[in-house]
Amino acid sequence: MSIPQLGGGPIEQVSQLAEYMAEGEKPKADWRIGTEHEKFGYCTDSLNPLPYDGPRSIRAMLEGLRDRFGWAPVLEQDKIIGLTQNGANVSLEPGGQLELSGAPMETLHQVRAELDQHLLEVAAVAEGIGAGFVGLGAAPIWTHEQMPMMPKGRYRLMTDYMSKVGTLGTQMMYRTCTVQVNLDFASEADMVQKLRVSLALQPVATALFANSPFLEGKPNGFKSWRSRIWRDLDAARTGLLPFAFEDGMGYQRYVDYVLDVPMYFVYRDGKYIDALGQSFRDFLNGKLPALPGEVPTLSDWADHMTTVFPEARVKKFLEMRGADAGDRAHLMALPALWTGLLYDQSALDAAWDLVKGWDAETREALRVAASKQALQAEVGDLRMIDLAREVVEIARGGLVARAGLSPEGDESAYLEVLAESAATGWVPADVLLERYHGEWDGDLTRIYSAMCY
């Protein structure tokens, strides 16, 4: 989850909120790729999750990355809660999941180099303290009571609120991991087309990357339990945004949506002030109960934008949020898929042609089916495996069209792991389930060594 945002000074006119989003517009030559992924840390002997404090801990990991590899620390209330270096940052999810938010890169080859270096550094520090990190969409064995809480004020507030809306919010916070990619847009119209394609095709990504079939030591009946969690978290701030497909969609319509989402907090002087359930509209009018008489800044708006969790999110860029975390190949395949689909106009148009006839009910039915059945899902006459094959091929064409961007050339090789899934119908969850019922003989503790980076 996000660190405090730096958006700007006082909001004097409501029009500044849409203008803030429009400031993200970039010419195609300046489009970049920013990849984020989360991973679970564990003790290699006990297989318990890493606590925040102690010689074998999340704090020890962050301090090791700082001391051995030159990362600069990020502190909250004198506790290290993140790191920054060369435009990238390492941050903590509520249950200690370690997240890399990569620097904006021109090519997927650069993304791969950054990922390889990060995983090398993490493995080096982890080995020295008897820890490991795994790439899975949901914690396979740990109960909620086993999960530590990281020392971030934002998470304490969110934990309280999540217990009042939906039923699975704290599972999302403490026991899931995702991989996502952040991509640019050139104009309002370009943002709208990309957002619509991204929302419609998130179920296909969910299916291809499904990697969370276990919960509390046994199969949970879903290929992506992480995706299932997001359907029962907080209806006010999640989902596939049906309004995005309506006439008149643009920056202002997205602003109206975010304004209607209840607030979590306001960040002041290094502390999170409880604003749970309060209205940003009231804040604009100086009537926020948490800060009476005070009006928000653009930094407050930027923070509030990070508390909406649709399957694809708009800030000054687009975020694809529908995939489970996975192994190294899948961590690269996710940015490859969306870069191929969205950064070539012919590919983007082909993807829109594929989905433009779907209504809101079809899109939601695909989302539900993807979480349970992955590539075996069917909705009406739509077969997920057929959609996956077509989507991967469209993305491949988009990446081939980018071949001249880098001396390393064609980026489409990063899609091979997805092409194999689309050909066979098997996704990471299917492989894990086969091993669980086969060679592992029901011993799920073996998943840690099998999935360790």
The reported pLDDT for the residue numbered 364 is: 98
Indicate whether 430 belongs to any domain. Answer: yes
Indicate whether 328 belongs to any domain. Answer: yes
Per-residue confidence in pLDDT tens, the chain, 453 aa = 455 666 678 999 999 999 999 999 999 999 999 999 999 999 999 999 999 999 999 999 999 999 999 999 999 989 999 999 999 999 999 999 999 999 999 999 999 999 999 999 999 999 999 999 999 999 999 999 999 999 988 888 888 788 788 778 889 999 999 999 999 999 999 999 999 999 999 999 999 999 999 999 999 999 999 999 999 989 999 999 999 999 999 999 999 999 999 999 999 988 899 999 999 999 999 999 999 999 999 999 999 999 999 999 999 999 999 999 999 999 999 999 999 999 999 999 999 999 999 999 999 999 999 999 999 999 999 999 999 999 999 999 999 999 877 777 789 999 999 999 999 999 999 999 999 999 999 999 999 999 999
Cβ contact 363:310 at 8 Å: no
Q: How far apart are CA 375 and CA 391, in angstroms?
A: 13
Residue 32: what residue type?
Answer: R
Q: How far apart are CA 99 and CA 426, in angstroms?
A: 27
Q: Which residues contact 156 (CB under 8 A, 6 or more apart)?
A: 149, 272
The domain that holds 204 is classified in CATH as 3.30.590.20
Indicate whether 3 belongs to any domain. Answer: no
Q: How far apart are CA 238 and CA 312, in angstroms?
A: 9
- Residue 84 is part of which domain span? 15-451
pTM of the model: 0.96
Cβ contact 316:23 at 8 Å: yes
CB-based burial, 183-205: b 16+ in 10 Å, e otherwise? bbbbebebbbbbbbbbbbbbbbb
Q: Which of 241, 381, 283 shows the shortest CA–CA distance to 275? A: 283
Indicate whether 10 belongs to any domain. Answer: no
Indicate whether 9 belongs to any domain. Answer: no
Indicate whether 216 belongs to any domain. Answer: yes
Direct distance between the N- and C-terminal alpha carbons of the chain, in angstroms, rounded to an integer? 21
Name the maximum alpha-carbon separation found in the chain: 64
Indicate whether 199 belongs to any domain. Answer: yes
Domain count, the chain: 1
Question: Residue 393 burial by CB count (10 A; 0-12/13-18/19+): exposed, middle or buried?
Answer: middle
Indicate whether 139 belongs to any domain. Answer: yes
- Helix (H/G/I), strand (E/B), else coil: 10: strand
Cβ contact 319:34 at 8 Å: no
